[in-house]
Amino acid sequence: MEVALQMGTFTRVGYGFEKCLEIANSLGIKYMELWIDRDNFWPEKTSKEELSEALSRARSYGVKIISMCPIPFKAEKWEEFVFEFDLASRDEPNREKAVKWYKSVIDMATRLEAKTIIVLPGKVEEPNFMKSKQSYRQHWEQAVKSLKELAKYAEDNGVCLGVENAVVCNYINLPGELKVMVDEVGSDYVKAYLDVANANVFLPPEIYVRELKGKLCDAIHATDNDGSYPYHLPVGMGTINYERIISLLKEIGWNGYVVPEIFYDEDPIGGLKRSKEVFEKIISRQ
């Protein structure tokens, strides 16, 4: 297992790609997950030449881009997310727009030699289905339809799509849901991208690891909280037992990238340094 830098940890405080490479270098981190939003590597605004330059800069620091985290929503504030690219939309033009957008991200991943892309399965606008205009099943069927369309494109490009248990979606948060969705899509290029901090507000994360055996992609988000809210804190600031989680991951044969996606603006570099040191100690003891 290896620890990777998650670029979103630092874009929140105004750091760009070059600064993230400098931080990775200073902390001895050789792997990075790219953050994609309208200010960072947005598909429509980033040229092939810019991608080539980014790959060259990463190589100059000895950093490999292992995964990409595209942001398909807008957020006016932390608790409110409006999906711009919704794979579960019942409006067919909107669903097709989302599929096209994710294909453009796959194209970018190919040029940057990244092997994993986080995919969010759309959003249930109203989680209270007594009020919702669309049922859980309707969301599910549209998301599966979209993922099946994307799977072949991902396979042709040698990229794995990781469906994340992202609380902003209002569904696909439980391990059984993730497993069934991945199985229903039925592609080796569509797997589950586990976010341990998000999992912890629903069930003990160990349950996710056991149930998703053989279904996990090569990266996971690993931060901390106490289970009361999906905080993404440096490891050690919550109650998640990473000794047990890393042990279970090794037990099921998983040997990928541990990615601290830290939202801790008070000291993001210190938070990453602390998390890296904890993970490296745990990994070395296993």
- Per-residue model confidence as pLDDT tens digits over 47-61: 999 999 999 999 999
Q: pLDDT for 193-231, tens place per residue?
A: 999 999 999 999 999 999 999 999 999 999 999 999 999
How many domains, in total, are found in the chain? 1
- pLDDT for the residue 130: 87
Q: pLDDT for 115-155, tens place per residue?
A: 999 999 999 988 888 888 889 999 999 999 999 999 999 99
- pLDDT for the residue 129: 83
Tokens of 133: 């205009």
pLDDT band per the 50, 70, 90 thresholds, residue 78: low
Say what the alpha-carbon torsion angle 193, 122, 36, 263 is, to the nearest 10 degrees: -70
Cα 229 from Cα 205, distance rounded (Å): 14
233 by DSSP, 3-state: which? strand
Q: How many CA atoms lie within 13 A of 262 on its CB side?
A: 26
- Decide if pLDDT at 79 tops 80: no
Q: 28: domain range?
A: 2-285
Sorted by sequence, the CB contacts under 8 Å of residue 153 that are 6+ apart come out as 103, 106
Q: pLDDT for 9-51, tens place per residue?
A: 999 999 999 999 999 999 999 999 999 999 999 999 999 999 9
CATH number at residue 96: 3.20.20.150
- Decide if pLDDT at 286 tops 80: no
> Mean of the per-residue pLDDT values for the chain?
96
- pLDDT for the residue 263: 95
Percent of the chain predicted with pLDDT > 70 = 99
Tokens of 7: 């670029």
Tokens of 21: 């490479």
